[in-house]
């Protein structure tokens, strides 16, 4: 693996999950594979899990880590070619990224979408600028359209907790007070479909995701019908793809214990952070079916599996 930008960089996702479990059993088994190497983590947006899990994963492999919070710690970057830089941006990505890669052996980058211009967001300008200008491998720490480290974690968590060979997985939209990206949902759909999972995606009318990522999943609009018999319920908000970035109020879509009762005692997942009693009721998050903490712990082993794979094949 050269870069980790999406599932397309992974030859065999299920083999990758096996690597995640192997690391979970013995996290320090390869504690010198990254000796003398530096991971640079570049954040254009906030993070708790991605920052901490990827840092710890790097430490477990013997790497050192440098974190750059672009919006608060660094110069404002320009991404467009040929622009006259007489406004806010101080440094072009054409200089900034090669400089970063002269200090780092692997770069991770997080950059959320603006949710105003769909074409621009779906072209992944920031992520692709890093890949184009980097002289080292690049890891997607959540981009405008995808969050593959989260999805590898989610697939691993389902494989870990499943009670049947082919469990029924439901990705349900849930309410949120702000417009959120589609990246976690897009990415989850992509990983479930490429591993032949039985996935149903349910959302209110007008909140359908891009078919580029959902092709192969069953699409529903009735949440209660979709939840019937589910083995896993992945709860997530996203803003509209078709009316790009628009938010909708549907408080009746909050996941409650009454809704959980329709399922096959489903395990309940969420990428976190989660807004209690908006996305999911306290009774669900605090109940025995929620596996969100176990899911978040698996972020560490998934990040470590990705770093290990890149270190094994490093081309720098």
The CB-of-150 to ligand CP minimum distance in angstroms stands at 5
Should residue 48 be labelled a site residue for ligand CP when binding is judged by CB under 6 A?
yes
Instruction: State in angstroms the smallest separation of the CB of 82 from ligand CP.
Output: 33
Q: Which residues contact 193 (CB under 8 A, 6 or more apart)?
A: 199, 214, 215, 216, 217
Where in the chain does DSSP place strands (E)? 38-43, 64-69, 77-78, 91-92, 106-110, 138-140, 168-173, 198-202, 218-220, 232-236, 267-269
Asked if 49 is part of the footprint of ligand CP (rule: CB under 6 A), the reply reads: yes
For the sheet containing 38-43, what is the strand order? 64-69, 38-43, 106-110, 138-140
Question: Least distance from C-beta 47 to ligand CP, angstroms?
Answer: 3
55 versus 168: smaller Cβ distance to ligand CP: 55
Q: Cβ of residue 68: shortest distance to ligand CP, in angstroms?
A: 15
Query: Given the complex with ligand CP, which of 37 and 49 has the nearer CB atom?
Result: 49
In DSSP terms, 230 is beta-bridged to none
User: What is the number of the residue whose Cβ is closest to ligand CP?
Assistant: 50
Tokens of 112: 């959320």
Question: Whose Cβ is closer to ligand CP: residue 142's or residue 309's?
Answer: 142
Which among 48-56, 57-65, 215-223, 236-244 is the span making contact with ligand CP, rule CB under 6 A?
48-56
Q: Which residue, 19 or 153, is less far from ligand CP as judged by CB?
A: 153
What does the block give as tokens for 200? 């149903």
Q: Which stretch binds ligand CP (CB under 6 A): 4-12, 41-49, 218-226, 307-315?
A: 41-49
How far apart CA 44 and CA 113 sit, in angstroms, is: 10
69 binds ligand CP (CB under 6 A): no
Site for ligand CP in 136-195 (CB under 6 A): 142, 150
How many residues in the shown chain lie near ligand CP by CB under 6 A? 9
Closest distance to ligand CP from the beta carbon of 266 (Å): 20
For 44, residues 6+ apart whose C-beta sits below 8 A from its C-beta are 70, 71, 109, 110, 111, 112, 126
* Rounded-to-integer distance, Cα 88 and Cα 110, Å: 21
Q: What is the biggest distance separating any 2 CA atoms in the chain, rounded to whole angstroms?
A: 60
Sites for ligand CP among residues 251-290 (CB under 6 A)? 271-273
Min dist CB 193 to ligand CP, Å, is 20
| Alpha-helical segments (H) within 195-256 | 211-214, 223-227
What are the phi and psi torsion angles at 25 (to 5°)? -70, -35
Residue closer to ligand CP, measured from CB, 55 or 263: 55
Q: Which residues bind ligand CP (CB under 6 A)?
A: 47-50, 142, 150, 271-273
């Amino acid at each position: 693996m050269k870069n980790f930008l999406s599932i397309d960089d992974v030859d065999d996702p299920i083999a990758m999950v096996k690597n995640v479990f192997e690391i979970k059993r013995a996290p320090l088994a390869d504690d010198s594979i990254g000796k003398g190497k530096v991971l640079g983590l570049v954040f254009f947006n906030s993070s708790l899990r991605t920052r901490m899990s990827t840092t710890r994963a790097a430490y477990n492999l013997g790497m050192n880590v440098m974190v750059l919070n672009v919006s608060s710690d660094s110069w404002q970057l320009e991404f467009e070619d040929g622009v006259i830089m007489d406004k806010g941006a101080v440094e072009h990505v054409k200089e900034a990224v090669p400089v970063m890669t002269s200090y780092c052996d692997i770069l991770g980058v997080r950059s959320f979408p603006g949710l105003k211009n769909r074409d621009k967001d779906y072209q992944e300008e920031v992520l692709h600028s890093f890949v184009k200008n980097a002289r080292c491998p690049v890891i997607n720490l959540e981009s405008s359209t995808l969050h593959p480290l989260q999805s590898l974690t989610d697939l691993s968590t389902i494989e870990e907790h499943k009670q049947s060979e082919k469990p029924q997985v439901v990705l349900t939209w849930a309410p949120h007070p702000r417009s959120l990206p589609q990246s976690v949902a897009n990415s989850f759909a992509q990983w479930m479909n490429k591993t032949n999972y039985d996935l149903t995606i349910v959302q209110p009318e007008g909140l359908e995701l891009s078919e580029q990522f959902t092709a192969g999943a069953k699409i529903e609009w009735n949440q209660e019908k979709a939840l019937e018999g589910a083995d896993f319920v992945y709860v997530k908000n996203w803003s509209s793809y078709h009316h790009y970035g628009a938010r909708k109020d549907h408080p009746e879509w909050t996941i409650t214990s009454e809704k959980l009762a329709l399922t096959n005692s489903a395990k309940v997942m969420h990428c976190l952070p989660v807004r209690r009693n908006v996305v999911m009721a306290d009774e669900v998050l605090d109940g025995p079916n929620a596996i969100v903490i176990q899911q978040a712990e698996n972020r560490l082993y998934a990040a470590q599996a990705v770093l290990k794979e890149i270190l094994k094949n490093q081309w720098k």
